[in-house]
Chain A
Amino acid sequence: MSRAATEILRRRGRLLLWVGCLAVACVLPLLFKSGFLVSLLCQMGIMVVFALSYNMLLGQTGLLSFGHAVYYGLGAFVAMHALNLVGKGGGPLATALLPLAGGVAGLLGGVVLGYVTTKKAGTTFAMISLGIGELVAACALMFPGFFGGEGGVSGNRVVGKEKLLGLTWGPQIEMYGLIVAWAFVAVVAMYALTQTPLGRMANAVRDNPERAEFVGYDTQRVRYLMLILSGFFAGVAGGLTALNYEIVTAETLNAHTSGVVLLMTFVGGIGFFYGPIIGAILITVMQIVIGGLTHAWLLYFGLFFLFMVLAAPGGIASVIAMQRALWQAGLLGRMLPHYLATVIPVLVLLAGLVGLVELAYALLAGEGATAGDEATRVLGMQVHLRSAMPWAAALAVSAAGAAGLYWIGGRMKRAWHETLSTLNGGRA
C-alpha cells in the first residue's frame, strides 16, 4: 500500500476513535442514570484535560513540573470570581464560557511565572517549579481576600432566570454535558497542537536542546510558549472544576494537586498522547471508588504507583502499544493464555495483601475505639483483631498468591522474552 493511502486510512481510524470516545462519553450517564456515576464522570473529564495539559510539559517538552496545579488553581479561582461577578446579570451562556476565563487566567499565570521557570530546563526547572508552587500556595493563605482563606471561595453556577436551549447547568447531568463539550474541544486542540511546528520543536527541544539551538530555535522560547499554552489548558480544567463543585479552596493549587496530576500522567504514559487520558480516568476511579470503600486508599494508591514505575515505566499506554505490536505481528495469541493464567495468582495475592492492610489499618486506626475484644468489621467480616486467626488467614492467602505468582509469573516472563525476540527478529 502506498504511503498516502496508509495515511488516509490512519486518519480515518483516528477520526473514528475521536467520535467513538465522544459517543461513549455522551451515552454512559444515560445508560446507567446513576448520580454517583455522573459525578465520577465529571471529575474524570476535568482531570483528563488537566493531565493532558501537564503532559504538554512532561511528555512533549521534557519539563518535569512540580507546580502545575498553580495554573489549574488560578483558573479555578478566577473562574469562580468571574462567576460571582457576573452574578445575576449573567445567564447560562456566560456560565458556559467561564472555563475560558479560567483558561485566560492560567495563560496569564504562565506568561508571568513561566518567564522565570522556563529560563532553564532539567533539574533546575523542576526545582523552580516547586518553589513557585510553594510560593503561590503560600500566597493563597496570605491573601484571603482573593483566595478565600481556609474556607475557599464558593458560588452558584445557576445565574439569572433565562435558559440556554432549556439548560441552566443546575442539574449535575447538564454540568456533565458542559464538561464533555469543553473537554472534547480542549483534547482536540491539544492533539492538534502536537501536529504543529511548535509542537514538533517542543519534542526536538526535549530530545536534544543543543541541536534545537543549532537549527535556529531558541529553546527557552519554545519552553516558554509550551508552558503558557499548557497553563491555558490547565486553567480551563480549573474553570470546569470551579463550576462543577461550586467551591474552590486553596488545595486546588497546592503541591498535593500538582503531585496527583504528575502521577496520573506518569501512570497513563507520558510517551503517548492518549496516555494521560487513561491515567486520569484510572486514578480518578481509584480515588473515588476505592476512596469510598476504604480509608487506606492512599496506601493502595502508593503501592500501585510503585508497582507501575517498576513494572511499566512507560505507563499503561506503553503496555497497550506493546500488545498492539504483538497483535499486528500475530503474536498476541501466544501471550494471552499466559496473561490469563497470571491473573489468578495476582488476584489471590491482592486479596491477601488487602486483608493484611485492612486488618492493620483497623487495628491501628481503631485502637482507641475498640480496645477490648469485641469483633470489628473488616472487609464485611466480623473479626477479632487481636486473635491470630484472621492474620494467619490473610498471610496464608498472600503467601499462596506470591508462590503462585512466582511460578506462573516466571513462566509468563519466559514466554514474554521469547515472543519479544521473535517480534524483534521478524522486524530486523
Chain B
Amino acid sequence: MSHPAIRLAGLKKNFGASEIIRGVDLDIRPGERHAIIGPNGAGKSTLFNLISARIPLSGGAIELKGESVVGLKPFQINRKGLSRSFQITNIFHNLSVFENLRCAVLWSLGYRYSFWRRLEGLRDARLRAEAVMEDIGLARRRDTPAGILTYAEQRALEIGITIASGADVVLLDEPTAGMSRDETEAAVALIRRVTEGKTLVMVEHDMGVVFGLADRISVLVYGQIIATGAPAEIRCNAAVREAYLGTSVNHV
C-alpha cells in the first residue's frame, strides 16, 4: 500500500481579496510524470510555490508521501525528499558549476553544517556532483562560474541542482521556457533520464513537451483543476478544449 506522492485537498490561496487557488484537490501517484497545464495566470506557479512552501497557504491540506507538510519551511520539505526548480533560473551565480552541484548534495549526504570536515575529503559528495554534472552535460564547464553560463546551460544546471540531492519527488517549473527547438529536445531527454523512477510534477507551456513526457495531465483554470487524466483523455475532453486548449490540441 502506498500513499500518493503528493496529495492536495481543498488547497486555497488568496493574495488580499483575489483568490488565486480556489480549492484544488489532486493526488499525484508515486512514480508518475504529471504535467500541470493551463492558461497564463491560472495559478500554476502559485500551486508549486504552495507545495514547496515558498509561500504560505490560505487553506486546505498538503501531504507529502502521506505526511502533512503544512507549516513546514522550504528546507524542511526539501529534507523530506521534495525538490523543485524555478521558472526564473535560481542558481549560485558566483560559484562554479561543480560547486553549485556539490552544495546541492551536501545536506542529503548528511554533512549538515559541518565546519570540521574538509570538502576536498568528501569523496561521495564529489562523485555525486560529478555524476550529475555528466548527466546534465556540463562536465567541460566544471570550473566556470554559474553566472556566466549560457541560458540553456543555466537551465540545465537548474535541473541538475534540483535532482542532485536524490529527492524522489521533483517539481519542475517550466523547465524548457525560453529554449530553442533543439535545446528543448535536449532538455526533454535530460528530464526523462534524470527523473527515471521518481515522481515528477511539471508546469509546462510547450504542448509538445507535455504530451510527449507526461503520464497524466491536470488542467488548471482560474485556480481550479477542471480535468485530470491521461494525455489522450485530456485531448478529447470538451471542457478542456473550451476553457483552454481550443483547437490547438488537434495539431499536437
Contacts and interface: CB of A to CB of B under 8 A. Distances in A.
A211 B94 CA distance: 13
B118 A192 contact: yes
Interface stretch (A131-139, A218-226, A387-395): A218-226
A219 B75 CA distance: 9
B90 interface: yes
A76 to B, nearest CB: 25
A229 B115 contact: yes
B148 to A, nearest CB: 10
A274 to B, nearest CB: 17
A200 B113 contact: no
A195 B93 contact: no
B161 interface: yes
B94 A214 contact: no
A388 B90 CA distance: 63
A207 interface: yes
Nearest to B79: A216
Interface in B89-129: 90-95, 99, 102-104, 106-108, 111-120, 122
Interface in A187-236: 192-193, 195-201, 203-204, 206-208, 210-219, 221-222, 225, 229
Interface size class of B (residues with CB under 8 A): 35 or more
Contacts of A197: 106, 111-115, 117, 119, 122
Contacts of B111: 197
B73 interface: yes
A193 B165 contact: no
B102 A200 contact: yes
A245 to B, nearest CB: 31
B96 to A, nearest CB: 11
Contact of B107 (A193, A195, A199, A216): A216
A193 B90 CA distance: 26
B84 interface: yes
A324 B95 CA distance: 20
A140 to B, nearest CB: 31
A225 B161 contact: no
B161 A196 contact: no
Contacts of A219: 75
Given A197-B112, A200-B119, A215 B104 contact: yes
B138 to A, nearest CB: 15
B107 A211 contact: no
B103 A212 contact: yes
B118 A203 contact: no
Nearest to B80: A216
A120 to B, nearest CB: 15
Given A196-B116, A214-B84, A215-B161, 4 more contacts: A197-B112, A200-B99, A203-B92, A207-B93
9 nearest A-B residue pairs (beta carbon):
A216-B107, A198-B115, A207-B92, A213-B74, A197-B111, A216-B78, A204-B103, A215-B104, A197-B114
9 contacts: A195-B120, A198-B113, A206-B94, A208-B90, A211-B161, A212-B92, A214-B52, A216-B78, A225-B115
